Amino acid sequence: MKRKITKKQFVEAVENNEDRLTGKQLAVKLGISEVHFCRLLKRYRNSIRDAAVELTKKIALKMVRCLEKNAVRGDTQAAKTVLEMAGAYVSRQKVDSTHKIEGVVVLPAEVPIGMPVEQKDD
């Protein structure tokens, strides 16, 4: 099962493992032993990580371009996402709540005085 394998071949095989093969299965596919596969994995882990980072950057760039295209076409969710990513849009959520403090009901500012308020017994 001895076979010479280049760094490039090994990194590409690990990087392009779309079938989600195990290390043992990849070793068989590459024609090397499982022990040799583990040694190469340890030796080339930085190269594999760098390749994964580059691949992630390419995918992210494609996704951003797609979002931008959809935003220009009028997709408001895509526009919102692009603006959020650029830091130009911050989603604000309003929380209304009623608190009971020592038998007194504290109302949110939006509730007009005189409106009936349901009190819950805890």
DSSP 116: -
- Is 90 inside any structural domain? yes
Residue 21 confidence class, pLDDT cut points 50, 70, 90: confident
Is residue 10 one of the residues assigned to a domain?
A: yes
In a domain, 122, yes or no: no
How many independent structural domains does the chain possess? 1
Q: Is residue 104 part of a domain?
A: yes
The answer to pTM > 0.75 is no
d(CA 6, CA 16) in angstroms, rounded, equals 15
Residue 121 lies in a domain: no
Alpha helices by DSSP H, listed for 1-122, are: 7-15, 23-30, 34-43, 45-72, 76-86
At residue 52, the pLDDT reads 85
Residue 85's pLDDT is: 83
Query: In which domain, by residue range, is 17 found?
Result: 1-116
What pLDDT, in 10s, does the model give residues 57-103? 999 999 989 999 998 999 988 888 888 888 887 777 666 666 655 66
Q: What is the pLDDT of residue 106?
A: 55
